[in-house]
């Protein structure tokens, strides 16, 4: 399957978002306070259209940190920080985060997100997806050219990929990968190290509602029988009038 490059997808990405509805969004906003009156944040989605959206970690730990520089302007919001990535030369495309999204009722799905790498984090991230919950396919890859700043509006347009629309089993993974053509990670701003971190914010899945199709009502057998009897009676009455 031929996938769009990041540059080619950029125009289609924003065109797809122009008239789209949000299916699920992770903004990592404050959800309350604890007993010590400190803010509490959650990895649960900030918004879902019908509840079928979940975030899972893949071999990494998470904390909530400043979202400064991301596209999130909500007061008191945070970003999700991921840490504990694989050692150099191991775990290619296995560590990161997974977002599971029920796209039932939606089509033309588009993913957008903001990402911020530390200097020693892997410069390369792979976007994988599944339509059956078991088999994963690489959609595209992203290379972070700068560290310690958010890159806003990264993403991918899934509208041309069969099976993503109207699917309760759709999910994506954002995972660290070896530099292309090598067996090692390349650091974003220097040498790769396991202390590297990656932040995510404003992870959004958008799409358009699938139009409802009106299905003509099929009469029940009993109704059909009554209609036949009525037509027969009408025909008999007409014949009698003619004979008279």
What confidence score (pLDDT) does residue 215 get?
61
Q: Give exposure, 168-204, as e/b (b: 16+ Cβ within 10 Å).
A: eebbbbbbbbbeeeeeebbbbbeebbeebbbbbbbbb
What confidence score (pLDDT) does residue 1 get?
32
**The pLDDT of residue 52 is above 60:** yes
Fold of 6-211: Jelly Rolls (2.60.120)
Contacts for 104 with CB less than 8 Å, ≥ 6 apart: 50, 52, 166, 167, 168
Termini Cα distance of the chain = 77
Residue entry with tokens 């400043």: 66
Contacts for 6 with CB less than 8 Å, ≥ 6 apart: 140, 142, 154
Distances (CA, A) of 180 to 49, 87, 185: 37, 17, 9
Segment 64-92, tens digit of pLDDT: 999 999 999 998 899 999 999 999 999 99
**The pLDDT of residue 126 is above 80:** yes
Which sequence spans correspond to the domains of the chain? 6-211
CA 72/CA 64 separation, integer angstroms: 14
Segment 141-183, tens digit of pLDDT: 999 999 999 999 999 999 999 999 999 999 999 999 999 999 9
Structure-model confidence comparison of residues 122 and 219, the more confident one: 122
Query: How are beta strands 61-66 and 21-26 bridged, if at all?
Result: unpaired
In percent, the amount of the chain with pLDDT more than 70 equals: 80
- pTM of the predicted protein model: 0.82
What confidence score (pLDDT) does residue 161 get?
97
Q: Give exposure, 126-157, as e/b (b: 16+ Cβ within 10 Å).
A: bbbbbbeeeebeebbbbebeebeebbbebbbb
Closest CA to 60 of 45, 43, 78, 44: 43
**The pLDDT of residue 234 is above 80:** no
pLDDT tier at 3, thresholds 50, 70, 90 = very low
Provide φ and ψ at 154, rounded to 5°. -70, 160
Q: How is residue 94 written in tokens?
A: 């296995």
3-state secondary structure of 163: coil
Segment 220-230, tens digit of pLDDT: 666 555 555 55
3-state secondary structure of 221: helix
């Amino acid at each position: 399957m031929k996938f769009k490059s990041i540059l080619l997808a950029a125009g289609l990405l924003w065109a797809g978002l122009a008239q789209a509805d949000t299916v699920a969004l992770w903004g990592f906003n404050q959800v309350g306070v604890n007993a010590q009156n400190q803010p509490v944040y959650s990895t649960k989605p900030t918004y879902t259209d019908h509840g079928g959206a979940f975030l899972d970690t893949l071999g990494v730990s998470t904390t909530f940190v400043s979202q400064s520089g991301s596209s999130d302007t909500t007061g008191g919001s945070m970003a999700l920080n991921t840490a504990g990535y694989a050692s150099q030369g191991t775990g290619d495309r296995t560590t990161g985060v997974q977002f599971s999204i029920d796209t039932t009722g939606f089509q033309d799905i588009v993913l957008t997100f903001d990402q911020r790498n530390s200097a020693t984090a892997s410069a390369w991230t792979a976007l994988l997806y599944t339509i059956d919950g078991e088999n994963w396919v690489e959609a595209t890859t992203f290379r972070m050219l700068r560290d310690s700043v958010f890159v806003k509006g990264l993403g991918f347009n899934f509208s041309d990929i069969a099976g993503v629309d109207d699917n309760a089993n759709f999910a994506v993974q954002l995972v660290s990968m070896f530099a292309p053509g090598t067996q090692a990670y390349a650091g974003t701003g220097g040498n790769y190290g396991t202390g590297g971190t990656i932040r995510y914010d404003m992870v959004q899945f958008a799409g358009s509602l699938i139009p409802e199709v009106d299905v003509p009502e099929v009469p029940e057998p009993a109704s059909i029988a009554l209609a036949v009897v009525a037509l027969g009676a009408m025909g008999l009455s007409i014949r009698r009038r003619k004979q008279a």
